[in-house]
Amino acid sequence: MNLSNNKILITGGASGIGLGLTQRFIEENNTVIICGRRESVLNDVKAQFPSVITKICDLTVEAERIALYEWVKENHSDLNVLINNAGIQKWVSVSDAGFYESMKSEINTNIEAPLHLTSLFIELKSLTTVMNVTSGLAFSPFAKIPVYSATKAFFRSFTLSLRHLLKEKNIEVIEIIPPALNTDLGGVGLHDAHPSVADFIVAIFEQLKEGRNELTFGTSETRLNASVPELKAHFEALHSN
Ligand SMILES: NC(=O)c1ccc[n+]([C@@H]2O[C@H](COP(=O)([O-])OP(=O)(O)OC[C@H]3O[C@@H](n4cnc5c(N)ncnc54)[C@H](OP(=O)(O)O)[C@@H]3O)[C@@H](O)[C@H]2O)c1
């Protein structure tokens, strides 16, 4: 994709990885629209980057996904990039009391919402690019976040098919595959030990410039290229105590 002069919707673009993408795409001379549930967080980003366009939206609500699409179609019909970044992560065991409810919200946010948004936004004549944020856990799960890991494996699988399916519409599909990074995902402090979003953004923009369609960093590059025995060994090592 061209890195400049796009109009881009970034779901969850007000924090963490989404905010890193927002900042960099603004610096690269793009128009950026961000959405999320928390108005105050959206307003903070607007104060920092006045050109950003914000929209409050709960993507777990089907009607709000449709309303977001209708609003974009009405007001930003030249939108050409959709970035499915919003996601949640629950540290939960299958035997926990709240497992079923927690599982439903994770599947809704991490799978239903981006798939539904994709099906809506590819109707925009201007759309040229879909970017999906998956995870290094798509290749080998972490059992403390079992549903989250599985949603990312699902989303990667769907992304591979989507790339094939959208060729006929001339829509490029790019997968962003972060490793664990220092954001508030799953709860404040849980990811403090991991690399910064800033370093990750620098690395993936280099790969975008090279024309890659699977963007990785550190351990997610290793996972992407690992053999099945290597992935099994990684899983065993991660769960050895
Ligand atoms: N950080 C990591 O280690 C890591 C690793 C691999 C992949 N990822 C993926 O990267 C993406 C971004 O995560 P992050 O690490 O940047 O965490 P984050 O800071 O918690 O960002 C998640 C964003 O998603 C938005 N969001 C969540 N539920 C939403 C909903 N129902 N409707 C609208 N927006 C919603 C949040 O905004 P509101 O709360 O305001 O709605 C927030 O801005 C996720 O897909 C995550 O799975 C992260």
The CA–CA distances, whole Å, from 1 to 104, 128, 129, 135 equal: 34, 8, 7, 21
Paired sense of beta strands 53-56 and 7-11, if any: unpaired
- 185 CA → ligand 1 middle, Å: 6
Closest atom of ligand 1 relative to the 61 alpha carbon: 31
pLDDT at 219: 95
SS3 for 7? strand
CA distance 141 to 147: 9
* 80: confidence class by pLDDT, cuts 50, 70, 90: very high
Q: What's the pTM value of the predicted model, to 2 decimals?
A: 0.98
Considering the chain, what is the average pLDDT of its residues? 97
Query: Which residue lies with its CA nearest to atom 25 of ligand 1?
Result: 12
pLDDT at 43: 98
pLDDT at 191: 87
- Checking if the pLDDT of 146 tops 90, the result is yes
- Residues at CB less than 6 angstroms from ligand 1: 11-12, 14-18, 36-38, 41, 57-60, 85-89, 109, 133, 135, 178, 180-181, 183-185, 191, 194
For residue range 159-203, list pLDDT tens digits in order: 999 999 999 999 999 999 999 999 999 999 988 899 999 999 999
Would you say how long the chain is, in residues?
A: 241
- Checking if the pLDDT of 216 tops 90, the result is yes
Closest atom of ligand 1 relative to the 64 alpha carbon: 32
Closest atom of ligand 1 relative to the 11 alpha carbon: 34
Which backbone phi and psi does 113 adopt, to 5 degrees?
Answer: -60, -55
Among 121, 148, 158, 217, the active-site one is 148
Q: Which residues pair with 175 in a beta bridge?
A: 132, 214
* 82: confidence class by pLDDT, cuts 50, 70, 90: very high
For residue range 49-68, list pLDDT tens digits in order: 999 999 999 999 999 999 99
Pocket perturbation via mutation, ligand 1, pick of 19, 37, 197, 204 by most ligand atoms within 8 A of CB = 37
- Checking if the pLDDT of 85 tops 80, the result is yes
- Checking if the pLDDT of 241 tops 80, the result is no
In the chain, % of residues over pLDDT 70 = 100
Question: Residue 100 catalytic?
Answer: no
